[in-house]
Homo-oligomer: A and B are copies of this chain.
């Protein structure tokens, strides 16, 4: 997909707003900075422990705006529905979108629905787009040596929840998706933390890929401590069974925050006093070298480079 974007879409649409390839495009409108984002949700199955495609579509778009420091104001949603999808399913999904939108303080103001014949799509796809008003200049370029890396809780829940439902794996403890709208957590951070450098939501490609992208963009090294990364035992077990690294597993209610060392404890306590940050943890720091790299200090004390996710991304995880 990354190749597709670089080969096909960037050359065709190149413009100032698009080119940074971040989660949201940011444009100027009469003195305001406005963030715009769009995402196609094709998750399979469309309902999974802890959420469904509807909740995911609202949270994903809200979070893309939030990590750009933008207060989400308007969302719109387009539905592509396969003929024969039970109306009750659609009602449940619309309802969970409504709840997520209320939680995020955003309105779904425009929509479209297309029904296609049986076999022309797989049950339901939702595309949400969002508009937000930027409240703070968050950018990987603000990252400095000595900064601290914080994550707001357990990583890997979403990917494991979807995969275990899809593959019919019956784990002893059911893992629920962490899918949640992060704006109110971000707002608390913006309000309480003067040296918040940037935020990123570690969705497809997981924590490792997100941190690697930040290290590249800032031309610094990010070093994380294996011990410090919050991962549920059930997720660890599932990852071992599936032969995958939890650091590459998608999250839908997580963010990484990079703040100055001086404010690390402030940021941590802001997060921990928010329902979506109870298990927040300082997981690492920014160092000078090797530039553009992510380094992990393992439990046994060794250090190794962590590559961004390069193989096939897990399909239809969001």
Interface residues of A (CB under 8 A from B): 1, 4-5, 7-9, 11-13, 15, 17-18, 24-25, 27, 29-30, 32, 34, 36-42, 44, 73-74, 76-81, 87, 90-91, 94-95, 97-98, 101, 107-117, 119-122, 125, 127, 129, 131, 315-316
Please list 23 pairs of residues, one from A and one from B, whose beta carbons are closer than 8 Å in the complex, sorted by A's number: A9-B113, A13-B107, A15-B109, A25-B76, A27-B74, A30-B32, A36-B131, A38-B77, A38-B111, A38-B127, A38-B129, A39-B112, A40-B114, A41-B114, A42-B80, A78-B127, A80-B125, A116-B316, A117-B316, A119-B119, A120-B316, A121-B122, A131-B131
Tell me, in angstroms, the Cα distance from A122 to B40 when the chains sit together.
15
Bound complex: CA A290 to CA B12 (Å): 50
C-alpha gap A25/B116 in the complex (Å): 25
Name A111's closest neighbour in chain B (CB-CB).
Answer: B9
Q: Are B38 and A76 in contact (CB under 8 A)?
A: yes
Decide yes or no: A18 and B90 within 8 Å by CB, A36-B76, A38-B127, A122-B121 being known contacts. no
Q: Is the CB of A8 within 8 A of B94?
A: yes
Q: Complex formed: what's the CA distance from A115 to B30 in Å?
A: 37
B76 near A111: Cβ-Cβ < 8 Å = no
| Cα of A87 to Cα of B4 in the assembled complex, Å | 8
CA gap between A80 and B7 in the complex, in Å: 16
Query: In the assembled complex, which residues on chain B have CB atoms less than 8 Å from the CB atom of A18?
Result: 107-111
Establish whether residues B25 and A109, one from each chain, have CB atoms under 8 Å apart when the complex forms.
Answer: yes
Q: Is the CB of B8 within 8 A of A40?
A: no
- Complex formed: what's the CA distance from A94 to B154 in Å? 39
Q: Which residue of B lies closest to A315 (CB)?
A: B117
- Neighbouring B residues of A79 by C-beta, 8 Å: 9, 40
